[in-house]
Amino acid sequence: TRSLNIITDQHMEQNLIIDKFMGDCVMSFKGGHLVDGTPEEHAASVVKASLNSKLALKSADLLYFNDAKIGGASTDSALIGSFGTEKRLTYTVLGDAVNIAARLESAVKQCGVDNLFCKKTKQLTENIEGFVWREVGTLKVDGKKITVQAFEALNESELNVQWLHCYHEALNNFKLKSFKKSKEGFEEVIRLRNGGDKLSEVYLDMCERLIISGTRTHWEPTIETRK
């Protein structure tokens, strides 16, 4: 209960709409006729609520449920309103972005990151102060035929620019099939970042396997995730 209280407090502070609780999961969104603001402001509020929730959980000194996986997606169109039957209605949001957000949330642990957001969320908030973006890569998410370009939001105040620059350089070499240079880059990221970097470990493992096996003609630089 304390964990959910902390998370919902942070979401409400950013004027997010708490949609529902699903076990230990909180689903919330911002948009529709009940809240004012631009798409950029809505997206920024969601990202800030997510980052603040993580920080608040860590500082609460809880024995259990002291961390959270976060997935988010933005869209130009969605159904927002009261849905259900004549006897019971629920104010909620429906659309493909909801499904993508759920798939991203389930991929967080496998990618070794704190959160995963879609490219549109990143584009809407690129000029917002307080956080910066790291490209996680192209993900094949469970239940979707198309790939999703995913990004991780990072608190700007805690950022070591050196490791982030090194990471993006290593990722670019990975896309160019320069796996030995990419491997060296990800090893440097793990060394530079305080506490290491699990995402770089994921790519490091992929580089080592690709150096041995090589690539097929139609190889794509993707991370295949699963539930």
- pLDDT for residue 217: 64
Report the share of the chain in percent with pLDDT over 90.
65
**Would you say residue 219 has pLDDT above 90?**
no
Secondary structure (3-state) at 89: strand
- pLDDT for residue 14: 94
167-193 burial: b if 16+ Cβ within 10 Å, else e? bebbbebbeeeebebbbebbbbbbebb
- pLDDT for residue 227: 63
DSSP 16-37: -EEEEEETTEEEEE--STTS-S
**Would you say residue 218 has pLDDT above 80?**
no
Beta-strand relationship, 131-140 and 222-224:
parallel
Average pLDDT over residues 86-99: 89
**Would you say residue 108 has pLDDT above 80?**
yes
- Per-chain mean pLDDT for the chain: 91
Separation CA 220–CA 138 (nearest Å): 9
**Would you say residue 215 has pLDDT above 70?**
yes
Task: Give Rg (Cα) of the chain.
Answer: 19
DSSP H/E element including 50: helix 39-59
**Would you say residue 141 has pLDDT above 90?**
no
Secondary structure (3-state) at 138: strand
Average pLDDT over residues 60-67: 86
- pLDDT for residue 72: 94
Average pLDDT over residues 102-120: 94
Separation CA 141–CA 227 (nearest Å): 9
Query: What contacts 165, CB < 8 A, 6 or more positions away?
Result: none
Banded model confidence at residue 186, pLDDT cuts 50, 70, 90: very high
Banded model confidence at residue 214, pLDDT cuts 50, 70, 90: confident
Banded model confidence at residue 226, pLDDT cuts 50, 70, 90: confident
**Would you say residue 42 has pLDDT above 80?**
yes
The torsion of the CA quartet 111, 55, 15, 83, rounded to 10 degrees, works out to 40
Banded model confidence at residue 78, pLDDT cuts 50, 70, 90: confident
